[in-house]
Amino acid sequence: MPARRALVALGLALAALLAGCVAAPPALPEGVTVLVMQQRSDVAERMAQLRVHNGSHAALAFTAARLDDSRFASAVDIDREVRLEPGATSDLRFALPEPVCEGSAVRRTLTLTRDDGTRFVADLRSAEDFTIGLHERECLLVEIERTSSLTWTGFTASPPGEPAMAMLTATPTGAGEPVLLAELRSTNLVQFAPKDGDRWRLGLALDAQSVETSIEVPLVPQRCDPHVVQEDKRGTIFTIDVGEPRAGTIELPMPPELKSQVLTWVAEWCRFGQ
């Protein structure tokens, strides 16, 4: 029995040694860079882009890309055949997974897989990109929604020269910690009336005893350039400043039906086509 136990122990030790000798996947070739980015047109749909740039002296080909980020609920798998000649860039669009707001250690890696199954792996933990701010805002919103949901619930158009009214509704859950919604920020499409700057004071304090509250927000167009409507990407996504003790910002987009009404109103208010 002692001899058998010794052999088992030796076998386990050898297995561990062999496992430790397995080579890690190679890093990206020198000159190849990756960036997780977001175009303005991606924001409302919660999409993003993986930009791969080949700054090396040889072609780079891969058939799949995988983003693993512990701050999000699932990995992102992009199956697409890509061949980048030296100096070429490719943007791979993908949907952002839902955020994970618990945990501390951040793990972020990118894996590119070639058609023969070999892989390149990049450690993205130190990469600075938009996902840092996005994750902070989304997790703050998760905290706030334990106390109250926030929704744009209505829009009343106005004739030219007069402010329209957007309705912001806070519906408390009956639980959660106190929260202060301090101010609204204007967008590139609309500003607040009267014209007293690019912020609208909310001063809305919510807690477990609060009742449903709706606030009318007066809006006028930021400017009357037709391309502002035609090229709108973020015009109905409002930033809200949150006060202490959970200071930060969140973003609250209007639902599609209200966004459509706002764009139509701006065009009519500015008399486009007349």
CATH number of the domain that residue 111 is part of:
2.60.40
Residues 232 and 142 in one domain: yes
Residues 151 and 118 in one domain: no
Per-residue confidence band for 13, with pLDDT thresholds at 50, 70 and 90: very low
Residues 139 and 124 in one domain: no
Residues 141 and 217 in one domain: yes
d(CA 156, CA 216): 10
Residues 58 and 145 in one domain: no
Residues 80 and 184 in one domain: no
Per-residue confidence band for 195, with pLDDT thresholds at 50, 70 and 90: low
Domain end marker among 129, 147, 171 = 129
Number of domains composing the chain = 2
Domain end marker among 109, 129, 149 = 129
Domain end marker among 129, 159, 193 = 129
For residue 22, tell me if it sits in a domain.
no
Nearest 10 degrees: Cα torsion 92, 94, 150, 240: -20
- What's the pLDDT score for residue 9? 45
Amino acid at 119: R
d(CA 266, CA 168): 19
Mark out the alpha helices in 21-165 (DSSP H runs).
40-43, 131-145
Residues 265 and 163 in one domain: yes
Residue 72 is part of which domain span? 32-129
Return the beta strands (E) in the chain as ranges. Answer: 32-37, 47-54, 60-69, 76-84, 89-95, 108-113, 119-123, 148-156, 164-172, 179-185, 190-192, 199-206, 213-221, 237-242, 248-253
Reported as a single tens digit per residue, the pLDDT across 76-86 is 999 999 999 99
Task: Give the mean pLDDT of 110-130.
Answer: 92
Which residue has better confidence, 49 or 128?
Answer: 49
Per-residue confidence band for 162, with pLDDT thresholds at 50, 70 and 90: very high
Q: What is the mean pLDDT of the chain?
A: 88
Query: Of 3-12, 21-30, 64-73, which gets the smallest average pLDDT?
Result: 3-12
Reported as a single tens digit per residue, the pLDDT across 205-262 is 999 999 999 999 999 999 888 887 877 888 999 999 999 888 899 999 999 999 999 9
For residue 10, tell me if it sits in a domain.
no
Residue 142 in this model has a pLDDT that exceeds 80: yes
DSSP letter at 53 equals E
For residue 18, tell me if it sits in a domain.
no
